């Protein structure tokens, strides 16, 4: 029998909980993810405690000893939370659950430790450590969780069909754990996910996205995304991405499988960036390819305009997923719209095109170039090296143009309000036309990004437009 008292001794919280458990006569255990991660040697962030009795009373007494810490109570669920030394401590009374077919929210009643462990999703999460004085540190394993942990396999403690039908979110969790831990899902468990995939429709999109984002933020997100597709779950909540799968042939010419290309781009990007929204840009960068796919005689398969259509699809997808519709959405939309531009520049670089890219990408130029580098997925090393050399040249020239013309974070040298005052005109289309023409002249390199040159051009433009000219103060 395994005893983990030495592993617990470095954290004061366990001695406190042991003391309270004894004083209050509440048999108490550390359970679930904490035990799993402790055994795997992973960084432990939060700790779940289960007691046979009132979890709220246990939390209150522990918080009192720790210096009167605040306790957040969820009386409907019989749980309480305490923040301590950067960790979230959750306390709950042991319970058993029963489900109806229309909801993943169970009917809950008090139960034994065995009841509580059996209701959990996977055997590796059914492990518990006693925090009681007689057997402090003893590992409790009723479902072969330790065996499955060593085998790196996800297995449900009960019939998997019942497990997933009762709470369909567990199917997303299975794939999330498999991705984060690099575990296999047992064959019968995975077959049950396929069989019960339609049950996912009763789960809120917010909960689905919470799990999906954890998959996306894992070291190799394609592992989970492929499992989502193979199981049929992806098709339920993200049909646009699932539609990218497949290769069509015409006249012996086939295009690449855009789903697997996208997942390769996502993995490439994940090696260099932990930014969730940049990873979402990788997922969505080719999302419109199925809608823009055409076969041109003598040329082959094309996807003309997929970047513009894809950018227009981003807000709808974000809205459906209940994602933020402000900065994150605008950033991803920008990345999708511009992701082809550096690739085009790699073959023909002009200062005008560089200025326009800097103007449109603005503060996100570096992120865009990171995405574009990840988008190089050819299996031909020579081709990859050629693209990378071209990209390095584009980046070098971008720096040169930026240093010379100050286009990034571009602010017009003369504002609309100044134009109104300078020419004594009322707000209207003429002001916008003048501002736009000055901007275009700067981007085309006709004038420098300089106030004096901008004012000189404004004089000429105003005269052509018949706008009354007054004396200007150049200071």
Query: Is pLDDT of 351 > 80?
Result: no
Query: Is pLDDT of 473 > 50?
Result: no
Query: Is pLDDT of 101 > 80?
Result: no
Q: According to the model, what pLDDT value does residue 98 have? A: 62
Secondary structure in 3-state letters for 432-462: HHHHHHHHHHHHCCCCCCCHHHHHHHHHHHH
Q: What is the pLDDT of residues 204-245, one digit of tens each?
A: 999 999 999 999 999 999 999 999 999 999 999 999 999 999
What is the pLDDT confidence band of residue 259, given thresholds at 50, 70 and 90? very high
Q: Are 410 and 453 in contact (CB under 8 A)?
A: no
Break the chain down into helix, strand, coil percent, rounded to 5: 55, 10, 35
Per-residue pLDDT, averaged over 32-45, amounts to: 92
Distances (CA, A) of 427 to 391, 430, 431: 43, 8, 6
Query: Is pLDDT of 114 > 80?
Result: yes
Q: What is the pLDDT of residues 71-100, one digit of tens each?
A: 999 887 789 999 999 899 999 999 876 666
Query: Is pLDDT of 28 > 60?
Result: yes
Q: According to the model, what pLDDT value does residue 410 have? A: 64
H or E segment to which residue 284 belongs: helix 276-284
Q: According to the model, what pLDDT value does residue 45 have? A: 81
Distances (CA, A) of 382 to 55, 343, 349, 378, 412: 62, 16, 21, 9, 43
Query: Is pLDDT of 411 > 80?
Result: no
- Please state, for a pLDDT cut of 70, what percent of the chain lies above it: 92
Query: Is pLDDT of 454 > 50?
Result: yes
Q: According to the model, what pLDDT value does residue 471 have? A: 43
Q: According to the model, what pLDDT value does residue 212 have? A: 98
- Identify the weakest region by mean pLDDT among 112-126, 151-165, 453-467: 453-467
Per-residue pLDDT, averaged over 188-204, amounts to: 97
SS3 (DSSP) at 127: coil
Closest CA to 442 of 403, 410, 416, 397: 410
Query: Is pLDDT of 303 > 60?
Result: yes
Q: Are 172 and 122 in contact (CB under 8 A)?
A: no
Query: Is pLDDT of 278 > 90?
Result: yes
Residues whose CB is less than 8 angstroms from the CB of residue 98 and which lie 6 or more positions away in sequence, other chains included: 106, 107
Q: According to the model, what pLDDT value does residue 161 have? A: 94
Query: Is pLDDT of 191 > 70?
Result: yes
How far is 386 from 217, CA to CA, in rounded Å? 30
Q: Between 17 and 298, whose confidence is greater?
A: 17
Buried b (16+ CB within 10 A) or exposed e, 339-373: bbbbeebbeebeeebbbbbbbbbeebbebbbbbbb
Secondary structure in 3-state letters for 329-346: HHHHHHHHHHCCHHHHHC
How far is 31 from 424, CA to CA, in rounded Å? 74
Longest dimension (CA), the chain: 95
Q: According to the model, what pLDDT value does residue 199 have? A: 96
What is the pLDDT confidence band of residue 103, given thresholds at 50, 70 and 90? low
Domains of the chain: 5-151 (3.30.460.10), 156-237 (1.10.110.30), 416-464 (no CATH)
Closest CA to 383 of 353, 342, 346, 420: 346
Closest CA to 376 of 272, 472, 234, 451: 272
What is the pLDDT confidence band of residue 24, given thresholds at 50, 70 and 90? very high
Q: According to the model, what pLDDT value does residue 466 have? A: 77
What is the pLDDT confidence band of residue 472, given thresholds at 50, 70 and 90? very low
Per-residue pLDDT, averaged over 159-176, amounts to: 95
How far is 401 from 365, CA to CA, in rounded Å? 13
How far is 306 from 326, CA to CA, in rounded Å? 23
Distances (CA, A) of 411 to 196, 407, 441, 450: 55, 8, 14, 11
Residues whose CB is less than 8 angstroms from the CB of residue 201 and which lie 6 or more positions away in sequence, other chains included: 236
- Identify the weakest region by mean pLDDT among 3-12, 116-125, 295-304: 295-304
What is the pLDDT confidence band of residue 68, given thresholds at 50, 70 and 90? very high
Nearest 10 degrees: Cα torsion 12, 14, 19, 24: 140
Query: Is pLDDT of 333 > 90?
Result: yes
Q: Are 122 and 105 in contact (CB under 8 A)?
A: no
Q: According to the model, what pLDDT value does residue 247 have? A: 84
Most confident of 172-186, 365-379, 400-414: 172-186
């Amino acid at each position: 029998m395994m005893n983990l008292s030495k592993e617990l001794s470095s954290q004061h919280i366990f001695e406190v909980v042991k003391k309270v458990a004894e004083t209050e006569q509440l048999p108490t255990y550390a359970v679930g993810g904490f035990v799993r991660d402790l055994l795997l040697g992973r960084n432990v962030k939060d700790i779940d405690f289960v007691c046979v009795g009132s979890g709220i009373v246990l939390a209150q007494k522990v918080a009192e000893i720790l210096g009167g810490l605040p306790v957040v109570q969820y009386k409907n669920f019989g749980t309480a939370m305490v923040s301590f030394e950067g960790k979230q401590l959750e306390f709950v009374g042991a319970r058993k659950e029963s489900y109806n077919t229309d909801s993943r929210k169970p009917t809950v009643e008090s139960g034994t430790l065995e009841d509580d462990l059996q209701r959990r999703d996977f055997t590796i999460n059914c492990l518990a450590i006693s925090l009681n004085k007689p057997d402090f540190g003893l590992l409790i394993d009723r479902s072969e969780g330790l065996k499955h942990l060593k085998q790196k396999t996800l297995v449900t403690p009960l019939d998997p069909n019942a497990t997933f039908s009762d709470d369909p979110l567990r199917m997303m969790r299975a794939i999330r754990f498999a991705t984060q831990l690099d575990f296999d899902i047992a064959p019968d468990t995975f077959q049950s996910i396929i069989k019960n995939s339609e049950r996912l429709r009763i789960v809120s999109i917010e909960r689905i996205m919470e799990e999906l984002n954890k998959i996306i933020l894992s070291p190799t997100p394609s592992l989970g995304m492929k499992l989502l597709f193979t199981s049929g779950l992806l098709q339920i909540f993200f049909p646009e991405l699932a539609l990218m799968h497949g290769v069509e042939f015409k006249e012996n010419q086939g295009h690449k499988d855009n789903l697997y290309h996208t997942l390769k781009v996502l993995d490439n990007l994940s090696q260099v960036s932990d930014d969730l929204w940049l990873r979402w840009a990788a997922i969505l960068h080719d999302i419109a390819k199925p809608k823009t796919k055409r076969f041109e005689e003598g040329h082959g398969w094309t996807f003309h305009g997929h970047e513009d259509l894809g950018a227009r699809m981003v807000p709808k997808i974000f809205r459906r997923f209940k994602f933020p519709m402000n900065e994150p959405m605008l950033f991803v939309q920008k990345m999708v719209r511009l992701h082809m531009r550096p690739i085009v520049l790699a073959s023909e670089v002009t200062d005008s095109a560089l200025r326009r890219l800097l103007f449109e990408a603005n503060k996100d130029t570096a992120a865009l170039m990171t995405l574009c580098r990840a988008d190089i997925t050819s299996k031909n090393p020579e081709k990859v090296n050629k693209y990378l050399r071209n990209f390095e040249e584009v980046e070098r020239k971008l720096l040169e143009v930026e240093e010379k013309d100050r286009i990034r974070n571009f602010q017009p040298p003369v504002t609309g309000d100044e134009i109104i005052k300078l020419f004594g005109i009322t707000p209207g289309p003429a002001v916008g036309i003048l501002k736009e023409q000055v901007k275009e002249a700067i981007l085309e390199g006709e004038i420098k990004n300089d106030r004096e040159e901008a004012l000189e051009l404004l004089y000429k433009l105003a005269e052509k437009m018949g706008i009354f000219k007054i004396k200007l103060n150049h200071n």
